[in-house]
Amino acid sequence: MIYTIASTKLGIIGDPFIADDGINVAALLSGGFIVEQSTPKPKKPAKTNTETNEEI
Amino acid sequence: MATSTYLSNPVVTVNAVDLTDQCSASTLTRVIEALESTSFGKTARVYVGGLENSTLTLTMYNSFAASETFATLSGLVGTSTTVTIKPTSAATSATNPISTLTGCYLETLPIVNAALGALDTIDITFTGGVYSVATS
C-alpha cells in the first residue's frame, strides 16, 4: 500500500510516506495524517468490434 | 565540573508525528528490570539484569484540533508505536543525540482533564519497547 503525507506534523504534504519500524500506520490513517494513494487502474483495452456481419 | 542542561527546545515525535509544540515536559527513563540472584552465603542482595522496560512520560496540552494531540494519540491506546526525543531541534549529533523507543505501549489516554481557567493538560506514559540512541 502506498501512502501520502497529509499533515505538516508528519512531513511535507504530498510526499510519499514510508513507515519506519514500529510506526502504527492505522493510527496515522485514522488521525488523518496520511492518506492512501490511489493507484491508477490499468487502462482497459479498446473494445474492438469482433462481430461479423457475414450471413451464413 | 558538574553541568546542567536547560532544555527549551527539545523535539518530540509520537508515531512519527511532531508534537513538540504541544509538549511541555518529558521524562525518558531507561529501565532494566532487576532480578534478584542472592544466594546462601551472601551478606548483601545481588541482582542481575532482566528485561528492558523503559518508559517515556510526556506532559501534553490537550488539543482536539486536526493533526494535534488527540488526533495523534486516540488511535494509539492499547497499541504499540515508536516515540523519539531529542534535546534540541538542531541536527542530530554526539551532543544532540536522538533517543528512540521502538515498539513501546500506550496503556492509558486521559481524554479530558478540565479545570476552570486552566489549559487542558494530560500526562501520558509509553512503556516498554526497545531503546536506542543515534548520534547521526
In chain B, where are the structural domains located? 11-134
Instruction: Please report the pLDDT score of residue A56 as a whole number.
Output: 54
Task: Give the three cell numbers for residue B5.
Answer: 542542561
C-beta separation of A27 from B15 below 8 A? yes
Encode pLDDT of A3-53 as tens digits.
999 999 999 999 999 999 899 999 999 999 999 987 666 777 777 766 666
Q: Flag if A26 and B74 touch (Cβ within 8 Å).
A: no
Q: Flag if B18 and A31 touch (Cβ within 8 Å).
A: no
Average pLDDT in the B5-26 region?
A: 90
* CA distance linking residue B21 with residue B123, whole number of Å: 15
Q: What DSSP string runs through B15-47?
A: TTEE-GGGEEEEEEE--EEEEE---TT-SS--E
Q: What is the pTM of this model?
A: 0.84
For A26, the closest chain B residue by CA position comes to B75
Encode pLDDT of B50-60 as tens digits.
999 999 999 99
Minimum-distance CB partner of A31 among B75, B79, B82:
B75
* CA distance linking residue A11 with residue A19, whole number of Å: 12
Q: Regarding the domain delimited by B11-134, which CATH topology (the fold level of the hierarchy) does it fall under?
A: Elongation Factor Tu (Ef-tu); domain 3 (2.40.30)
